[in-house]
Chains A and B, each alone.
Chain A
């Protein structure tokens, strides 16, 4: 949930350039540097991940079994089954070994390998987040371009005002409003859209009907997330393009008599797209956060819902696994963004 400002990588590069020490690297060494950095991040994340989850309060055996397990021997057996009784260093080694072999442990609550749970939950999350991100990028970029090009015009005023208001809105609250307005219905209009779940109970999800039914169910959550991301993306695109428009070469192009639309499409937009898309990729951590709350509001059985359900138990392994997947996703997205950015804009290879 970062404020749409210039991305840190660029700011840093510029600062160093201003400092007069542009130790520019070759691309290969830049790639190596960034990959190493990502691996470092990944290890740091593993350590944080492990220790955070080991200090969670509560005793899963008792909480889960309230009213069911009855003898201390049974509680002990339960703890042994789930490795809860081992020493911390041992647990850490087991954790490292298991993580790299793809075994994320067995869910305390669901008695199912966490990797299976995550595999099941991944698809709804990807569907939701993916379609929202694509829609938000397309619409946001379009709005940003139009707004920036006719800065101060009616269109710009409306989009900037709306974007800033949406940006100030908790996305799940927006979701609740949409449920109230479009799911429950208002005035004489009946509630048109389903308010939860990924499909109707009696529809085969693998049929054409099922696919359409899923799209119908995703209408409100995707709209919610799209609006939430849109606010961020359109503001970024607008300010990137305004940056570009201030550059000298554009003034030159205009002076040479090129038509506005040509200048916009051939030069300014193309140059502004790059920082925008990479900043969007860098903001993926914020995308993950939105998915958690929106999945909760709309009962979408994705990673976010899996994680929030696990808090109450607490289901160490599920929390750890989902946190791992989310962090790894962010690290990979960041790495790609940085690589593309560094390839196209050598200024950042410092």
Chain B
């Protein structure tokens, strides 16, 4: 046993040491949370999978680093006809797949056609081809899209371009289970900055090699390895020990702790996501239009919901529930998307003011009865509001605990429960709720997020059962609006309607905790810049631009400020905390107690046995 441990210790120590000095530069990332669900871009949906496809494949039109607006990728330029019904893209020359076959416009058209016509392929990507009827490649450098109506989301086309000569062998029925994983030592064929050489869906390790011929220039690292961990502590310790260089998805408290570590840089990056308290604004059977479920009648009144917006102390929530990592929320389009985000002016902004909330409720008829509880305008009791947190989300649960205490100060009774996310989905679809806490991840083009609040999405993606004619009309207008300025105005108007009608009280724009061994790697650029995340961005900028700390003297300055450029040398010994000691002492006390007990017991037993003999 001892020998075994010693023998196995040796290589470990070697790994700790300068093992990576073997000329190869390897960037090792520890991932937490959900794993890779599929390497096949047509079936996977988890965010780490997007990271894998992003390294393997490339887009026709990707995202800018500053505000995630459309930016050239495989397409060098594009034009659109005056009526917005024809888009012409010019494809970059000289791009090759990893097996040496050149990438042409035909591959792009093939991929897009698969998405347009394949049932499986549609699932994740069809929204980008909204309104597109025909895709052709008249020559190797030109792709033409024909539309039946203008599409506001173009020219953004972040669909991974797959090689036709490989995927034509994958039939419509096979694609559902096609793994697109490396086999027989052959990497996955792609045109992206890296090649996947090792890894399978649900695997714990994914290994990528740099593509030396990448059109954007050879990446500064030779390999990228993703290692998936189930436990934050394990991932963080692996980083402190130098087994990995980056940790993604840690808590705010862990970030705070790591900020004191030598050689480590940690932050809470703003992610384009929000969390909300959502209300049942009127669940109906979508076929008959008759009410279903049992929403509290007060919830159906926009005035009631809006008044509650003044009873939510957002700064306190951010401080207590999010440990300070996050921004107070306003609308469903995060402020990271500067062009589309609507910020409520001071006069309209809901700020924590219980007196004002009380006045608004009084004015709307929800007056306090003799027992101090508010009643419906007709004098009936409101009853107890049901607040559903989620058992798998401590933040949702705590948010509801706070909401309950604020409601009680307003004279409204409430009760918090904690169904699992799955159960809550069922509850929402049946309309058996008053309020719940959940969140959404918002894509750079707000179209799909905005669509979730339309009447047509009730019983489908809408979870607040919100329905408003004016909002729907604006949604359809912006959906086909090709004048960017007009579209932005329409999108902002829609957010204003939502803010007034309050189907959601957006509580927070949350963050993702990240930490990097800045004594190993530098030149990370946040997205959005500044304040954003370092990896799991839209696009794979940092994988191709980070450099080993020793060569970090000249990070490209093209992308502007907000760079992380540190070359701190790790100081040994300072990195481990002294926390193990209390654990050892505690364990020892426990054992000592046990031993004392049995010592006495067994001694006594022995005596009687001796007597008997």
Contact = CB atoms under 8 A, between A and B. Distances in A.
Check A-B contact in the complex, CB < 8 A. Answer: yes
Contacts of B601: 157
Contacts of A162: 591, 594-595
Interface in B2-60: 4-5, 7-12, 14-15, 19-20, 26, 28, 35, 37-38, 40, 43-46
Contacts of B200: 112, 120
B233 A179 contact: yes
A102 interface: no
Contacts of A219: 5, 8-9
Nearest to A82: B176
Contact of A298 (B225, B231, B429): B231
B127 interface: yes
A193 B441 CA distance: 37
Interface stretch (A10-18, A36-44, A71-79, A280-288): A71-79
Interface residues of A, number: 87
Contacts of B9: 192, 216, 219
A187 to B, nearest CB: 5
B204 A197 contact: yes
A191 B103 CA distance: 49
Contact of B176 (A111, A197, A297): A111
A339 interface: no
A180 to B, nearest CB: 4
Given A59-B425, A314-B422, A201 B243 contact: yes
Nearest to A62: B425
Contacts of A182: 580
A81 interface: yes
Contact of A181 (B38, B460, B583): B583
B179 interface: yes
A318 to B, nearest CB: 9
Majority secondary structure of chain B interface residues (helix, strand, loop or mixed): helix
B466 to A, nearest CB: 17
A22 interface: no
A151 B613 CA distance: 14
A181 B580 contact: yes
A71 B126 CA distance: 11
Given A58-B422, A75-B460, A299-B234, A185 B38 contact: no
Interface string B215-227: 0000000010111
B177 A112 contact: yes
Contact of A152 (B7, B44, B421, B609): B609
A59 B430 CA distance: 12
B468 interface: no
B594 A312 contact: no
Given A58-B426, A110-B38, A200 B15 contact: yes
Given A111-B43, A184-B237, A74 B123 contact: yes
Interface string B71-88: 000000000000000000
Interface stretch (A24-32, A207-215, A259-267, A326-334): A207-215
A186 interface: yes
A194 B238 contact: yes
A194 B233 CA distance: 11
Nearest to B604: A152
B15 A203 contact: yes
Given A161-B598, A186-B583, A201-B243, A195 B460 contact: no
Contacts of A71: 460
Contacts of A203: 11, 15
A113 B203 CA distance: 14
Nearest to B603: A152
B578 A112 contact: no
A94 B38 CA distance: 25
B12 A157 contact: no
A268 interface: no
Interface in A73-132: 74-75, 77-78, 81, 106-107, 109-113, 117, 120
Nearest to A154: B599
B581 interface: yes
A238 to B, nearest CB: 12
Interface in A323-347: none
A72 B460 contact: yes
Give the one of A62, A191, A299, A301 with max B CB within 10 A: A299
B597 interface: yes
B230 A196 contact: yes
A258 interface: no
Contacts of B169: none
Contact of A161 (B599, B605, B606): B599
A188 B578 CA distance: 8
A54 to B, nearest CB: 14
B580 A196 contact: no
B284 interface: no
Contacts of B575: 190
Nearest to B20: A202
A299 B230 contact: yes
Nearest to B24: A202
Nearest to A193: B12
A156 interface: yes
B496 interface: no
Contact of A63 (B235, B425, B598): B425
Contacts of A198: 204
Given A179-B233, A196-B237, A202-B20, 15 more contacts: A63-B422, A74-B122, A111-B40, A120-B202, A152-B609, A187-B580, A190-B575, A197-B204, A200-B15, A201-B28, A209-B11, A212-B7, A219-B8, A299-B229, A301-B204
11 contacts: A67-B448, A70-B460, A77-B120, A189-B580, A201-B225, A202-B19, A203-B11, A213-B11, A296-B230, A309-B230, A312-B420
What are the 8 closest A-B residue pairs judged by CB atoms, nearest first?
A186-B580, A196-B234, A58-B422, A152-B606, A161-B598, A215-B8, A185-B576, A216-B8
Interface of B: 1, 4-5, 7-12, 14-15, 19-20, 26, 28, 35, 37-38, 40, 43-46, 119-120, 122-124, 126-127, 176-177, 179, 200-205, 207, 223, 225-231, 233-235, 237-238, 240-241, 243-244, 392, 420-423, 425-426, 429, 440-441, 448, 451, 459-461, 573, 575-581, 583-584, 587, 590-591, 594-595, 597-599, 601-603, 605-606, 609
